[in-house]
Amino acid sequence: MNKFKEIFLDLEQKILTKVYPPHTLLPSEKQLIDIYGASRETIRKALNLLRNAGYIQKKQGKGSIVLDFSRFDFPISGLTSFKELQDTQNILNETTVVTLKKIPVSLEIHEATQWSLEEEVWHLVRQRKIDGEVVILDTDFLLTSIVPELPKEEAEQSIYHYFEEVLHLDIAYAQKEIVVEPITQQTRELMDLLPNDTHVVVVRSLVYLEDTRCFEYTESIHRLDKFRFVDFARRKKI
């Protein structure tokens, strides 16, 4: 086996076993040269393998930062509540309701949903804390004509359980858009972001009932290092 691959495997093992924990620096190139008795070129090849595998990010003037590779799977297709993801993936989390109030449909919401400007919606903002950090910020807009009441205690648990089991709504499907966007000041204030974070993943969803009425518009902001967005696709010839 090539020397740089041996070094890569050794460093990989040390990252996986948290000898080098997430958000810390690997030893410098000079230190790695001394540790492994290898040339600078060999060390750089090993570091490139680590970077390509998603274990480190090289920062000019700082060195190689170990990334947090333990990410939760977030399905792209399908319609799954965060509570259901929490239960299936054993995610220990805490939800805090930041905002829960009724507001008129704004022009921005109207353009996203085609709801009438005369309609009223619940404006619900929730922080999702995992391992003590706020890594998801959910903002929901819900038509009060379909969801007349929304108790805070239900919002802190699972609103989908409330919709289906209490209000007996038949939730059918959703249209999703997933984008990477620059961090806003509000997002930085309400989330626990990393010092080097400049962008977040935003999942926007329009959720429809069985009768095709759109009753929910959601913007779910995720910290980049904590989630990976997955799907299953079967090839279909056209």
Number of Cβ atoms within 10 Å of the Cβ of 159: 24
pLDDT in tens, 96-105: 999 999 999 9
pLDDT of 56 above 90: no
- Residue 227 falls inside a structural domain: no
Describe the crossing of helices 29-36 and 3-16 by its angle, rounded to 10 degrees.
Answer: 110
pTM of the model as a whole: 0.64
Residue 144 buriedness (CB in 10 A; 0-12 / 13-18 / 19+): middle
- Residue 53 falls inside a structural domain: yes
- Residue 113 falls inside a structural domain: yes
pLDDT in tens, 109-164: 999 999 999 999 999 999 998 878 899 999 999 999 999 999 999 999 889 889 99
Are residue 96 and residue 158 in the same domain, yes or no? yes
- CATH number for the domain spanning 189: value is 3.40.1410.10
- CATH number for the domain spanning 41: value is 1.10.10.10
Look at the chain and report how many structural domains it folds into: 2
What is the amino acid identity at position 153? Answer: E
Domain that holds residue 172: 82-222
Are residue 30 and residue 123 in the same domain, yes or no? no
Number of Cβ atoms within 10 Å of the Cβ of 140: 23
Q: How far apart are CA 210 and CA 220, in angstroms?
A: 23
Sign, CA torsion 156/157/163/166: negative
Q: Report in angstroms the alpha-carbon separations of 31 from 2, 26, 27, 129, 226.
A: 20, 9, 6, 37, 30
Q: Report in angstroms the alpha-carbon separations of 178 from 76, 107, 202, 219, 221.
A: 8, 22, 6, 10, 10
Are residue 8 and residue 94 in the same domain, yes or no? no
The whole-number pLDDT of residue 215 equals 96
Are residue 158 and residue 214 in the same domain, yes or no? yes
- Residue 190 falls inside a structural domain: yes
The whole-number pLDDT of residue 200 equals 92
The alpha carbon of 80 is separated from its chain's Cα centroid by a whole number of angstroms, namely 14
pLDDT in tens, 30-54: 999 999 999 999 999 999 898 877 7
50 vs 82: which has the higher pLDDT:
50
Are residue 13 and residue 61 in the same domain, yes or no? yes
- Residue 74 falls inside a structural domain: no
